Structure 1
Amino acid sequence: MSAPPLAPARPRRDTRRQARRDARRVSPTRLTAGTLVVWLLLALASVAWWPVYRDQGMVVAALTAVFAGTVIALLGAVFRLPTAAVAVATIAAFVVTGVPAAVPGGAAGVLPTGQGLLDLFSGVALGWKRLVTISLPVGTYEALLVPFFVTLLVATVTGVSCATRASRPEFASIPALVLFAAGVVVGPTRLDTSIAVGVALTGVALVWALTVRHARRATAVARTIGAPVAVRRSVLRPALVGTGTIVAAAVVATGLGLVAPPTAARTVARTDVVKPFDPRDQVSPLSGFRAYEESTAADTTQLRVTGLPRNGFVRIATLDTYDGVTYRVGGSDGASPSGTFERVPTTVEVRGVRGSTVDVGVTVDGYSGVWLPTVGDLEQVAFRGPDAERHRSAFFYNAATHTGAVVGGVRDGTRYDLRAVVPDQPTDEQMAAARPGDAVVPSATNVPDPVRDTVDSTAADAQTDGAELVAVIRALKRNGYVSHGVGDDRVSRSGHGADRIQELLTSPLMVGDQEQYAVAAALMADEIGFPARVVMGFTAGGDSGTSPSGQGTGDGSGGSGTTTFRGSDVTARIEVDTAQWGWVMLDPNPAVREIPDEQQQTPKPVTRPETVVPPPPAEQQDQDQQAPPQSDRDTPDQPPLWLQVLLAALPWIVGTLGFVALVLLPFAVVLVVKRVRRRRRRRAATARGRIIGAWDEYRDALLDRGQEIPAAATRREVAIAAPGDAGTGLAALADRAVFGPSNADQHAADRMWDAVDSAIGHLRSGRTRRERLRTAVSTRSLRARRPQATTPGPVSSGARRPAGAPVGHGADGDYDVGRLAERRSGPDEDRGNL
């Protein structure tokens, strides 16, 4: 008696349809719980973005994005909308709500304007780069809220959709984790985000994953046994135990983070991004110092400043890199903190500075150059006039050196208002007790030996580093004479290279001007151990001991008075970093007095032979010979907006394509393996091998389609369970090829493969594109278990299994003669079915 045929398995398509119908009934509990958990996760993740904006506009953008994203996701879950529909709805919500929420300046009430929409879409591509090249916080400046808004909107839609309709709701925490990571990457270098926030976010995500996993397991058990299970025992108890473990680990991690916080600055995007303004491309303003003292420029008005305190100092630039040729900004490799200039959106955060706040108005009247004159530690700048918008978008600031720059330069008529903190300065007695600070400045190179000799000879009796510094500053003021080398002044060579500083310190008469004295003082302070830098700017009288060169209305004491600075008011000072007061500004310039006759002076003793200073590198000489900053250097025009958008979007497009290729790689490998397998089967060495390979191809197609085929099923059993009638004839022809009395020929093999191709095509008919795609990339046929093989040969139709012969598959994956005899399904029964 033949074995009973297997009952046809229920098609997986019907099972999936039933599962989809069951999934349409989303429980209110899941909708509510999933939405609330995602809200909590997004709220914690958004904390990482607060140091970036620090403005209530971020709260408005966050609420708008969360509300819109939640509505879209819930509608998609309730009505089971396809992914494409949810994506289109998300884009529509972004267009409608994006401008009022993320670009408030480009909205007409609650309606977007054309310019607002342009800023919105350009912000998606360009906002990320702008965000990491601008000083923080940015508030609602321009369209810089767009990166946060679009990220939060997408995270909300994705998170709520996963929590309410996905088979694994624990994945709903991934968008919040991505949002948190993005906030950290574009955030400040210091750790403003509390460690506890990151730990809390991770803890909530783990607790959520643990709870939904136990709930899913309890539901599966209830369906299996056909009875409800105890929620407390199957869900609450294990979830609480896991939650306790997570909380304990979170407490330990938070405690360690608070006890031993990171000491170094974080490496984030803004620390590695290429800045749009590089100070090393600019000529050192100190190289053009003498140009202000020329007879034609000395009496020319440069700046008019209102609200400046008495004896106030207007900073042009701070220089911290000396290479034996010139003092400049930015370090030799651009790694110095002074080389990082960022755009200022609204305000500059000033921390730990003790001083007085001043409001200053500046009008540029003759000065020109890329460096913007500022006062003290800048807090806020507001440009005025017809070019205000251009200047604001081109303004860059370095908080480490308190130096501002405008790409393209400023010129006559530029007006702006400053709010700044003027730091309190210690007295000379307090400076004598000062200790060197820990600020990092580039090491000076090619320093002439007389710098060290002068320190040794003038500060030999000093007991502390501060006393040595005060001694060398007093020596410069006492022994030095001021001459700019113009008009009837004593001959005084310009420049501040190593040879000029050596000449200043070794000549019988120390003759120079602020350019040389500031550089010599900075090098000597560095020799003592104080981090030092040179500051060039304007002050009344130019630090020369003369009366102010010009006062317009008022006396320069502050308030509403206007201080007029002319070319002769230019000066240079030094700043040294101290452990007690931070950066302190010192004036090393001697007062203007009559220069005695050089023949009446006794040459200074030199403690060692004069050192021949090696010539500076040719590249640096070329830099020193460049034109002074008074010669405007127009920057090239920026490319059009569409090109900027394209260039900014190109890395994202390439990255997206690379990510898609990486995701599709496993599926491509599956398709290639199946293709190679089919080709190997069709090109088998024998006709019997080709026929058996064709049957295996048909059997694998059934497996990939979702057909349940037991591992011990014969070809006839497989054909009966398969949809349609084509499988019966294929099984009969394969059995004849294996167990028939004669060898199969190539013509039969060709007919077998044609029939298999037709049968596989029939299997694909009536199925959706998605089902055909899932069948093509299915790995069930690759993972199917194959019984151990024996090698059958062609036998007669009446053959029987010898005693002790194994019952198993043949070399081509089918049962041997003994197995076929037991089933009593001889090959002749279905001979005419093909």
Structure 2
Amino acid sequence: MSAPSVAPAPPAAPTPPRRTTRRAARRVARRVSPFRLVGGTLVVWLLLAVASVAWWPIYRDSGMLVAAVTAVVFGTLIALLGAVLRLPTVVVAVATVAAFTLTGVPAAVPGQAAGLLPTGHGLLDLYSGVALGWKRLITISLPVGTYEALLVPFFVTLLVATVTAVSVATRASRQELASIPALVLFAAGVVVGPSRLDTSIVVAVALTAIALVWAVTVRHARRAVAVAETIGAPVAVGRSVLRPALVGTGTVVAAAVVATGLGLVAPPSTPRTVARTDVVKPFDPRDYVSPLSGFRAYEESTEADTTQLRVTGLPENGFVRIATLDTYDGVTYRVGGTDGASASGTFERVPTSVDVRGVRGTTVHVGVTVDGYSGVWLPTVGDLERVEFGGSAGDRERGSFFYNASTGTGAVLGGVDDGTRYDLTAVVPDQPTDEQLAKAQPGDAAVPAARNVPDAVRDTVESTTSDAGSDGAKLIAMIRALKQNGYISHGVGDDRVSRSGHGADRIQELLTSPLMLGDQEQYAVAAALMAEDIGFPTRVVLGFAAGGDSGTTASTSGSAGTTTFRGSDVTARIEVDTAQWGWVTINPNPAVREIPAEQQQTPKPVTRPETVVPPPPADQQDQDQQAPPQSDRNTPDQPPLWLQILLAALPWVIGTLAFVAVVLLPFGVIVLVKRVRRRRRRRATTARARITGAWDEYRDALLDRGEDVPVTATRREVAVSAPGDGGSGLAALADRAVFGPSDADDRAADRMWDATDTAIGQLQEGRTRRQRIRTAVSVRSLRTGPAAVARVGRAVAGRARAVRPGRGADGDYDVRRPAERRSGPDEDRGNL
């Protein structure tokens, strides 16, 4: 009897190539759901709106809102078209440049637009603003409004951020990465923004919280979609997405509240360092001679009666400021500190106006015409709010004007000449009376400490303020003593001989001479040094006053009240910082009066009592044997050169190491997590768990190496597709330990781990150092580890219940025992 014929098995379907599989996956990924388009776009808008708040202190103008809306609308439109039509990156980039060209001038350079259309000059300003606008933005005082093309940096940054963020939110597999452009936008606003904190803490916390909440929600939604596609059935949105998202949101909100509270309750005590605090300013006052050094030039016979300025609208007893000086080095009073780090040394361009909301005083509108005066320092009045230049050179002078708000000093690069006209809007601060000033306490303003101060300053303070109690009373007593004991002489013409200058030797001579003789240059410097000795932060102000403090008044004529200042009207005063009224202007100069004869002031000789002890020999010491001056004795010894170099380099070394540590920290955490996982697997409680852990370690090594290991693949399928021949033995050992007739023992587990170490070592053979490092820090095994496999296993097990006993889901016979079939794939995640 012949054997029955068996029909040949149908040929197995060929496995599609990996490239075909990837293309199919890409086609599926191209189907962007409307929910993702709308939801991702709305979240990106929220992130960009919060991040743009950091730019508001820079502009404080409605033009910023117009630029922001334009950039967001056109950027979103370009990104959505790219997502729906699947346009390549190059096309999206070209469309972004085209939108920037068409809308940039009306939105960011409105002064150069022809309605809604750009102009040639506007396009030139637009594209130059992309490269040069950043430098201009950090060298100008804030806010800038729509001045020139300074809106371009914000507009281009927001446009690029919108296109990038919306594209990532609607096209990328990791939607949460779309929050990075908003973080970059916020960081850029902080870097080019003001040095004070303003609302940066609240904005930073809010932006970070929104980004984290979105990341948590998107991650859970992506996981729910993957599970639904795997099991072929919908999952509960509330349990899979909403519940964990709400828990994460609550945690983030609690942390945000705590962080915001700590930032507001205990803010940093020092201003933050931003780009404008470290950038090299185009105007450095240290490059120019101190204007106080040229004081006597105004008093020369040829200049004393020469007109310098014509001012309209000046209030009664008004004072016109030329410059404010806060740094004394024993030779001259100048601006900017010894190293340029003083607040008085930072001059910025004024785009529209200066913020004077915190100044209490009277607002004045003053017109100034330069008629004889020349120099880089621009005469101003009070605390400047706005300046408008007129005449043919108005545009050039407007672009060359720099201002220091802390001292109220203005400057024009190239200087001002005859015929310069400008209008000032300023606030003249309210001044306390002498009775109120006597109760004043020193303020906390930071000014450079005076150096090489003569000893006569302290002696004069002690002798004139011995009867005063408070610091304010000492200040008033010192000023009164100067006015009572001093006499004015410029040393020109028929005046009594009086040396010019205000160095330490000249101030020593003024305070120790039998006849205190000098002019406003010396009295202002002496009063400033004595006020600083009392404890008040002090600075010297050079300017023009009615009659130059001589008791006369400058000529005023015309219906508009034009005040004409001549060279003899030049004067110098001091400003002291008080805790109650801020900076207060004080006139320390004596009134002009007749100078007594010099012989009447000759001091009487002082006779010394006789002493029994003979005096020491009066041999004059050699110059080399004399004691060093007091300033040198108080100066600490300089450390050696190698120590100075080490101390100078130490902060940079520490900063570099800290930066490297921060960069390498995530990779170190990844390596540590993998080591902990390996140790937990190798030290499992049962031998079977250690064997399956060894296989899991090998499978994770394949994932980190970059191999495609399907989640549903069996151990033997993984071993066949793995490089090398070590995987086949591992798969056989693991299957024997899990499905064998007897339980695995400890020796089998040790053999399994030894074989696993050998197989993993073979995977590293022939690979470069860079490839090994990438394998060590790869996170593929952490993303698709045992938890993901277990979820798929549970899904397959649920579907397998519908298959008849004895057969697997694919129709093959299941060779496992019933008890092992009931255990499910949780014990053996590789045999799914």
Instruction: Pick the TM interval, shorter chain.
Output: 0.7 to 0.9
Which one-letter code corresponds to 1:370 in the other structure? V
Q: Deviations over 1:331-352 (max 9, x none)?
A: 0011111111111111111142
In the alignment, the residues of structure 2 paired with residue 46 and residue 231 of structure 1 have an alpha-carbon distance, to the nearest angstrom, of 33
Counterpart-to-counterpart distance in 2, 1:64 and 1:382? 31
The match for 1:321 among 310, 327, 332 is 327
- Asked whether the equivalents of residues 446 and 498 of structure 1 are also in contact (C-alpha less than 8 Å), the reply is yes
| 1:331 aligned partner, one-letter code | G
Q: For residue 545 of structure 1, report the CA deviation from its aligned partner.
A: 1.4
Indicate if the aligned counterparts of 1:481 and 1:595 stay in contact, CA closer than 8 A: yes
Matched, 1:371 2:373: no
Distance 1:303 1:6 in 2: 102
Kindly indicate whether residue 25 of structure 2 is the aligned counterpart of residue 19 of structure 1.
yes
2:386 is the counterpart of 1:380: yes
Change beyond 3 A, Cα 1:21–1:777: farther
CA distance in 1, matches of 2:723, 2:62: 73
Identify the match of residue 551 of structure 1 among 531, 545, 556: 556
- Which residue of 181, 187, 194 maps to 1:181? 187
TM-superposed deviation, 1:246: 1.1
- Aligned equivalent of 2:313: 307
Residue number in structure 1 paired with 2:801: none
Deviation at 1:613, TM superposition (A): 12
Unpaired segments ≥5 residues, structure 2: 1-9, 609-625, 633-662, 668-701, 711-715, 726-770, 782-832
Q: What is residue 39 of structure 2 aligned with on the other side? A: 33
Instruction: Call closer, same or farther: CA 1:780–1:327 in 2, change over 3 Å.
Output: closer
Deviation by residue 1:211-269 (Cα, 9 ceiling, x = unmatched): 11111101110111111111111111111111111111112222222222233211111
Equivalence for 1:158: 164
- Contact 1:12/1:706 (CA < 8 Å) preserved in 2? no
Q: Name 1:203's counterpart in structure 2.
A: 209
Indicate how the Cα distance of structure 1 residues 714 and 354 shifts in structure 2: closer, same or farther if over 3 A, else same. closer
The offset of 1:546, in angstroms, is 2.3
Q: Report 1:288-307 matches (<5 A).
A: 288-307=294-313
Between the aligned partners of 2:524 and 2:184, the Cα distance in structure 1 is 51
2:113 corresponds to 1:107: yes
Percent identical across equivalent pairs?
78
Matches within 5 A, 1:480-495: 480-495=486-501
1:509 aligns with 2:515: yes
Q: Distance in 2 between matches of 1:413 and 1:51?
A: 36
Give the 3 Å change call, closer, same or farther, for CA 206–714 of structure 1 in structure 2.
Answer: closer
CA contact (8 A) 1:24 1:79 kept: no
1:457-504: CA deviations, max 9, x gaps? 111101111111111111111111111111111111110011111111
One-letter identity of the residue aligned with 2:558: T
- For 2:564, give the aligned amino acid: T
AA partner of residue 586 (structure 1):
I
Conserved 8 A contact 1:454-1:505: yes
CA 323–485 in structure 1, closer or farther in 2 if over 3 Å, else same = same
For residue 692 of structure 1, what is the aligned residue in structure 2? none
Query: Aligned in 2, Cα 1:604/1:38: closer, same or farther, shift over 3 Å?
Result: farther
C-alpha separation in 2, matches of 1:219 and 1:44: 30
* Structure 1 unmatched ranges of 5 or more: 555-559, 618-661, 667-699, 719-775, 786-834
Change (3 A) 1:716 1:91: closer
Which residue does the alignment assign to 1:577?
Answer: 577
Letter aligned with residue 575 of structure 1:
E
Distance 1:71 1:571, change over 3 A: same
Cα distance between partner residues in 1 of 2:309 and 2:233: 87
Classify the secondary structure of the residue corresponding to 1:108: coil
Q: Distance in 2 between matches of 1:591 and 1:116?
A: 58
Deviations 1:424-458 (A, max 9, x none): 11111111111111111111111111111111111
Whether the 8 Å contact between 1:355 and 1:422 is mirrored in structure 2 is yes
Q: Deviation of residue 23 (structure 1)?
A: 2.3
Q: Is the 8 A contact 2:190 2:200 kept in 1?
A: no
Asked if 1:63 corresponds to 2:42, the answer is: no
Q: Is the 8 A contact 1:100 1:107 kept in 2?
A: yes
Shift of 1:603: 2.8
Whether the 8 Å CA contact 1:459–1:471 is kept in 2: the answer is yes
TM-score normalised by structure 2 residue count: 0.73
2:357 matched to 1:356?
no
SS in 1 for 2:372: coil
The CA deviation at 1:20 is 2.2
State the superposition RMSD in angstroms: 3.1
Structure 2 match to 1:476? 482
In the TM superposition, what are the counterparts of 1:143-542 in structure 2 within 5 Å?
143-542=149-548
Q: Does structure 1 residue 127 correspond to structure 2 residue 127?
A: no
- Find the aligned partners of 2:485 and 2:83 in 1 and give their Cα distance: 84
Report the Cα distance in structure 2 between the residues aligned to 1:357 and 1:175, rounded to whole angstroms: 44
* 1:604 to 1:339, Cα distance in 2 relative to 1, 3 A: farther
Structure 2 CA distance for partners of 1:779 and 1:484, relative to 1, 3 Å: closer
Counterpart AA for 2:591: A
3-state SS in 2 of match to 1:296: coil
Q: 1:715 to 1:311 in 2, by over 3 A?
A: closer
Once residues 288 and 607 of structure 1 are traced to their aligned partners in structure 2, the CA distance between those partners, rounded to angstroms, is 43
Within a 5 Å distance, the mapping from 1:38-117 to structure 2 comes to: 38-117=44-123
Residue 675 (structure 1) aligns with: none
Give secondary structure in 2 for the equivalent of 1:205.
helix
Tell me, what secondary structure is at the counterpart of 2:381? coil
1:307–1:75 distance in 2 versus 1, CA, 3 Å: same
- Check the 8 A contact 2:709/2:718 in 1, yes or no: no
Shift of 1:614: 7.7
Equivalence for 2:588 = 588
Query: For 1:257-307, what per-residue CA distance to the aligned partner results, in whole angstroms no more than 9, with x for missing partners?
Result: 222223321111111111111111110000000000111111111111111
Matches of 2:317 and 2:447 in 1, distance apart? 28
> For residues 238 and 541 of structure 1, do their structure 2 counterparts lie closer, same or farther at Cα, with a shift above 3 Å needed?
same
After superposition, residues 767-778 of structure 1 pair within 5 angstroms as none
For 1:462 and 1:155, the matched residues in 2 are separated by: 64
> 2 CA distance for matches of 1:29 and 1:455?
78
Moved more, 60-69 or 462-471: 462-471
Which residue in the other structure is 1:654 paired with? none
Q: Identify the range of structure 1 (19-28 vs 82-91) with the bigger mean alpha-carbon deviation.
A: 19-28
Q: Distance in 1 between the 2:365 and 2:723 partners? A: 95
Q: After TM superposition, give the deviation of residue 778 of structure 1 in Å.
A: 14
Q: Establish whether residue 598 from structure 1 lines up as the match of residue 616 from structure 2.
A: no
Secondary structure of the 2:472 match is: helix
Deviation, structure 1 residue 197: 2.3
In the TM superposition, what whole-angstrom CA distance separates every residue of 1:742-762 from its partner, at most 9, and x where no partner exists? xxxxxxxxxxxxxxxxxxxxx
